[in-house]
Structures are given as structure tokens and as C-alpha cells.
Structure 1
């Protein structure tokens, strides 16, 4: 046929049908042709050399995860704030303390009265914590810090407390207190209980103390307190006469001091048994700015039995015997106060008070002590009107 649909023609019934989308007949995969032949832009790709596969380390066997305890503070470090107390318990203690604190004090007074009239052998608890009512007392100024637990509130509370403790410790150093070091300097310390800085932590207290020139000290196993210290260098000795110098004039700091009226001394000796304890009980609550207040008060209002005859007669020989007797007593003590110097030498230290040499003078006492090997202690600033501190190598 002319239309190509006849028998035997190319487009007849005996030939496979043509695909409308291309020249490939049905029954054949048109995508099986060579892609390079179908894509005129295809270029032959040269073979590429790939790097060998990287060798990775074998997987590690991780231990099972368990909650780890809190890391201990580094050596020389100080712990942070302690856990807060329960607010209800704090409020309950604050309300009840106004009842049990007076009863506690009254009970202690009655206990002491009973012990005075009873045959007390001296036994009892090893700790005196039950005597200190203030340990369980919450001042109103601390109540807010206990309830809120904020560090700024605790800092506002503990700052004046720390300032008072530091001022008292430095005043104690000025009065001759402190521990003597081998370099002849002295160290004074302050100890604060945890109840005073619970929400601030020992680290916060040390930070506050550094403003005053103090530093923290490791407290070891005593985790309930923070220890602070300050080191003072050895003082420069000035205006100290030599034992070989001429005697000091009366009325000068190193010379003889005025003694009391002799006829009054017997009454002072007898009445001091009564008025000394009464005065102490009536003024025990008073805060004294001078740590050696009682030594100075006693030198004015009391007289010792050993110094009675020397002051009553005001004889140079009597004062000489009294000074030598006190020197011998302090030298022969079974447990003397000693300090080891950097070269390993043990130094023996004694403290002569004003009542020992009042009528003879500090210079005369220094001359007597020099005959026995004593010299002025270089760790203390001389204060001849109140006391005389001496030292010498400890004799075996």
C-alpha cells in the first residue's frame, strides 16, 4: 500500500511498532545506548587514584558514668559557703532563745553556787561548750542573713565582727601578745566560728581579712572555723639603756617609780580580797580596749604578798631581794617559755611586771638580770613603765 500499512512493507503489520519518542523500536531500552554517543559534551574521564582508607584508632571502652563526689579544695584553698539552714528552724530558734537563754544563764549561776558549797572533786565534761550560751544565740543582725542566705547580707553582718576581732588582736600585739617566731617577729591570730560566716564561706572571710593586711591559715581538720593571722616583724629597739650605763633618774621611764602611801598598804592587802572579785564580777561584761588592762589595774589597786615588804619599806635592799626572788622563780619554772632561733638555739623568755621593780626602776632590774645572762628581748618593744621582757639562751 501507498500508506505503508500493507503486508510486507516497512510500516506494515508485520514490522515492530515505532516509538513516538525516538527512533528505537518498542521492545528495546532507549537508555541502554552509549551515553557518550547521546551526550555530545561528555568527555572521557581519566581514571583517578584515590588515597587508601585512613586507619582510625579502635573505639575506647568508656567506664560507666557515675556521679562523682565534689572535688576537694586545692592545698591552701578555703571552702565556700556552707549549706543554708532551714528557715523555719532559724525562726523557731530566734523566738525561743529569748526564753531558754536567760534560763540557761540562771542555771549556770545556780550550778556554780552549788559547786562552791559542795565537795566538788573537779570532774566533769571535757569541753566547756555548754558554758557558752552565745554559741546558740542568733543576734537580730544575723537573722536576715540566716533567712535569705545571700552572700551580700552575710558580708554586711560579718564585716564589723571581723573588724572588731582584728582590732583586738592588733591591740594584743601592741600590749606584748602574739607568738614569737624564729625571726624574732610575732604572729597574732583570729579564729571565727562557722556560724558567723555560714553564707559567705571561709574564702569570703579571707578576702575581707586581706583588706586589713591579714591572711588565711589552713585550719587542717578543724572545718568549723576559719583561722586568720598577721605577721609583725621584729621591732627596732630604741632608747634602751645598757646595763653598764649610770642608774636612771627617778621619775624617768627606766628609773624608780613613785610608790604608794605606806600606811594604806595593809588595808589594800586585806580589802583586795573582797573588792577585787566584786569589781571583776560587776565589770566582766565591759569590753576593755587594752588587753593588759587588768595588769595595769592590779598594779594600781592591789599589792602582792611578795612585794608588800619591799613597797612598804621602799628599801633598795628589799627591792633588790624581791627582784632576785622573782627572777629565780621564773627561771626555775618546769615548763619555761621558749622559742627556737634559726640556728637551732632555744631561747628562754620571761616577763617581769611593774610590781616587781616599782621602787627600784626598770634599769636596776635590767642590771640585776644582766648578771645572770638576761638581756632585753629583741622581739618586743621596751615598755619599762609597765613591764620588762627578758630573754637568754636556754641552759641545759
Structure 2
């Protein structure tokens, strides 16, 4: 018992406790603490690995390393370039003649700026020169006028009808009206329901919504009139169409707003000097392209062609048409005004209708007989009558188809040339409807 204790307890033989050889020594192969805490058993500066040999290439130079023959020493195979700069010339090269360096031309002085061309007197002014929205009307006054107009407008129209009846039956000896025709137009004091909202709110968008259909309708009517030959002819043979708008139609939008709307349809603002009570818009239509038209002395056109004689109506129908037209022409005109409001999309509709369904008293015998001499006398008679106010140079006149039906448009040009008239270049020729002439006295002596 005592010996076991002495052997294990370390009291055998009176000696002290002996350390366990494996418990006290660290494991040299343990990871994380190989030789960090223990001194190097192989001496100071020795490598930890006893088998490691110093690298012959680390601290000592590589005995097998040889210097590059092309790095520090010249290449024994390198040959000098015989054609390099400073060497022999290229054997097949052709000598290039030296080109003289062109002298730099002296700087040209800047041309003075051309003066701005003066504005044409007929040019449209810019949009900023047109006045803006006008002052709003009193709402109470607008409502009062809208209410009372349903009473005084019918009375006004009845008074106008009675006045015309008095003038008709009195033989011209009745009362005469004022010089202005404003008292005849009841619509100027009438507020339609569509404009009532714009007058009450005063907002520009409400005025624009009210004015846009009116502007579109008047622009279409003006373009139709231009196709029918209307418009002011300019010096360059272009034609100008103008449309007027009174202030009651655009009060809350302003003249500048009207011009802005017109520009959407290719129109522009007209003269801004008309005051604040109206605004004009206009459009310049260019001169028509030159088209074929026979001269008065060219060979006569064949019958039935646009420039030749047109076929006449049956002779036995002419007397009936001459008598009945006294009744059906006014009736058809009134019905057209009431139902169609006198507007037709086809240009020159009334001229075409009259040439088809009416018979002129002066042209009755020429068409009834079909004589070429009678047609010539009729054309000369019409030219003499219409030439009264257009005899000055530059005067223009128009001859309808009913005047030269049996003679032909080319024959009418020949007769008009005797009085100094030529075909007007400002209009596209339409011999199936009319002939437009321009007075040039030099043409009569040519």
C-alpha cells in the first residue's frame, strides 16, 4: 500500500516528484504551436527544418545562369540596314522632285454685311403685334341680353320685312336707311348658346372651343372662293384671300389667339392696323403653274374639245326654257339659300348651273340659229359692255361659257385680242367654265 503510493505519489526513496515526460513537454507536431514557445534546439540562426538545405539560388548566384547574348552583348547576327537613314540609297527608288511649298494666301477681308431688305408693305406683321384678350363683359348684362334677344330679334326681323315691303310697293319713294348696313344684320347683337359659356367664364379655352369651328368654316369658304377665281391679284401673279373676324367672336381669346389658330391651317395674320374691333387673317396662294392654252392665231380647236365650240342645246327646247326660267330660276335660288344656305363644294356651281338651265336673252338667237356670225356678234357685244370699266391697262374681266358656247373659247380669245386682251396668267385656264382676260394694250398692236 505504501509502495504503491510511493511509486505513484513520488515519495519512494525520499526523492521529490518527477515530472511526467510526455505531460510536461509540448507536442512538437501540434498545429499552431510548433516551435513558437520553445527555443530552437539547433542553434541560433539555424533553420527549424534540420533537413532543409539552403537554396543555391537564394543567397548564392545561380551557377548555371548565363548572361543573355543579346541583352548585355551585341547580337553577332545583327546586320546594319543599308537603306536606313544616312545609309546607301534604295536601288529601285525613283527620285521624287521637291515640291515647292505654296505660299499662304493673305486673308481676304470680310465683306460688309448686306443691309436688311425693307419689309414688304403687304407682309404680315408678327403675332406679338396683335392685341391680347379684351376686357370681359358684365355677367348680368350678358344674361340680360341673352334673355331679351328671344323677344327683340323676331320683332327686328319682322320690322325689316315690313320695311322692304314698303320700299317695294312705294316704288323707291319710301324711307331710306342709313349708309351703314349694320342695322340689317341682326346676328351681330345675338348671343348663341355656344358663346354664352365663353362670355360667362371668360376662359381662353372656352373661347377657343367656340371660335375653332367658325374659323374652320370661314377658311373653307375662302378657299372655295379662291378655287372659283376670287382673291386679290399681286404683282407676282399670286392671289391673296382675306377673312375678317369681329371682336364679338374672340373677345376672351384676343387677336393674337385668332392668329395662332389660323396658323394651324396655313393662314397668317393680316393687317394689324384695323383697330381692336376686328382682326384679319390672310393666305397668299402662289401663281398657277403654266399650262397649255392655244393662242388666238393658232389653228382652230376641234369642236367638242375644251377650247373648241361646245355642242348646243336642242333648238326646240330653247323657247320653253326661255319662258319657264322666269319661274324656276328664282324658286331654285330661294330653295338653295334656305336648304343649302347657298354653299356648294363645287367651284363655280352657279355659273355651271346657269349655263345649263338658263338662256340669256342676248344669246337666244345665236344658240337657236347656231350661226358662227351670230356667236361672234354676241361675244363682241358682251366684250363692249364689260369693257367699260376694265379698259385701263391691267384691267381684268371674265367671260362665261354661256357667252361663247357655240363659238368656242379660242374664238373668244381671238375676238378679245382685237381689243388688247390676253389670257390672264394669274388664273389657271378653265375654258369649260369661263375665260379670264387681262387688258394689255400692246397686245392689240402686236
Contact 1:247–1:255, Cα closer than 8 Å, also in 2: yes
1:76/1:218 contact within 8 Å kept: no
Aligned to 1:7: none
Q: Could you tell me the TM-score, scaled by structure 2's length?
A: 0.66
2:118 is aligned to: none
Larger-Rg structure: 2
Matched, 1:113 2:170: no
Q: Which runs of 5+ in 2 are unaligned?
A: 1-124
- Stretch of structure 1 that moved more, 121-130 or 191-200: 121-130
Instruction: State the partner residue of 2:440.
Output: 393
Q: In the superposition, relative to structure 1, how do residues 147 and 75 fare at CA in structure 2: closer, same or farther (>3 Å)? A: closer
Q: TM-score, normalised by structure 1?
A: 0.74
Partner Cα distance (1:100, 1:297) in 2: 39
Deviates more, 1:238-247 or 1:288-297: 288-297
Residue 396 (structure 2) aligns with: 349
The answer (yes or no) to whether the contact 1:237–1:382 under 8 Å persists in 2 is no
- Pair 1:378-2:434 in alignment: no
Written as runs of structure 1 = structure 2, the 5 A alignment for 1:225-304 is: 225-285=278-338, 286-287=340-341, 288-289=343-344, 290=346, 292-304=348-360
Q: Which has the higher contact order (CA 8 A, sep 6+)?
A: 1
Q: Secondary structure at the match of 1:262?
A: coil
1:187 and 2:234 equivalent?
A: no
- Secondary structure of 2:167's counterpart equals helix
Count of aligned positions: 314
Which of the residues 181, 188, 197 maps onto 1:144?
197
Q: 146, 149, 152: which is aligned to 1:100? A: 152
Mapping 1:75-224, distance limit 5 Å: 77-121=129-173, 123-224=176-277
My pick for the range that moved more, 254-263 or 274-283, is 274-283
Residue aligned with 1:351, SS: strand
Cα distance in 1 for partners of 2:171, 2:308 equals 49
The alignment partner of 2:135 has SS state of: coil
CA distance in 2, matches of 1:221, 1:162: 19
User: Any gaps of 5 or more consecutive residues in structure 1?
Assistant: 1-72, 339-345
Distance 1:152 1:235, change over 3 A: same
Q: For 2:281 and 2:302, how far apart are their aligned partners in 1?
A: 44
User: CA-to-partner distance for each residue in 1:31-74, whole Å, 9 max, x for gaps?
Assistant: xxxxxxxxxxxxxxxxxxxxxxxxxxxxxxxxxxxxxxxxxx99
Cα distance in 1, alignment partners of residues 270 and 191 from structure 2: 27
The runs of at least 4 aligned residues of structure 1 exceeding 3 Å deviation read 73-76
Alpha-carbon shift at residue 254 of structure 1 (Å): 1.3
Deviation of 1:75 (Å): 10
Contact 2:302–2:308 (CA under 8 A) maintained in structure 1 = yes
1:138 CA displacement: 1.3
Match of 2:384 in 1: 328
C-alpha separation between the residues in 1 aligned to 2:433 and 2:375?
17
Q: Any idea what SS the aligned residue of 1:79 has?
A: coil
Q: Secondary structure at the match of 1:305?
A: coil
Q: In structure 2, what is the Cα distance between the partners aligned to 1:305 and 1:291? A: 25
Task: Report if aligned partners of 2:127, 2:259 keep a CA contact under 8 Å in 1.
Answer: no
C-alpha displacement at 1:291, in angstroms?
5.4
User: Do 1:369 and 1:375's aligned partners in 2 also have CA atoms closer than 8 Å?
Assistant: yes
Offset from partner CA, 1:242-291 (integer Å, 9 cap, x none): 22322222222112222222222223223323332233223223231345
- Kindly indicate whether the alpha-carbon contact (under 8 Å) linking 2:129 and 2:272 is maintained by their aligned counterparts in 1: no
Higher mean C-alpha displacement, 162-171 vs 365-374: 365-374
Q: Distance in 1 between matches of 2:337 and 2:151?
A: 23
Give the root-mean-square deviation of aligned CA atoms: 2.2
**Partner Cα separation in structure 2 for residue 74 and residue 351 of structure 1:** 36
Alpha-carbon distance in structure 2 between the residues aligned to 1:328 and 1:96: 54
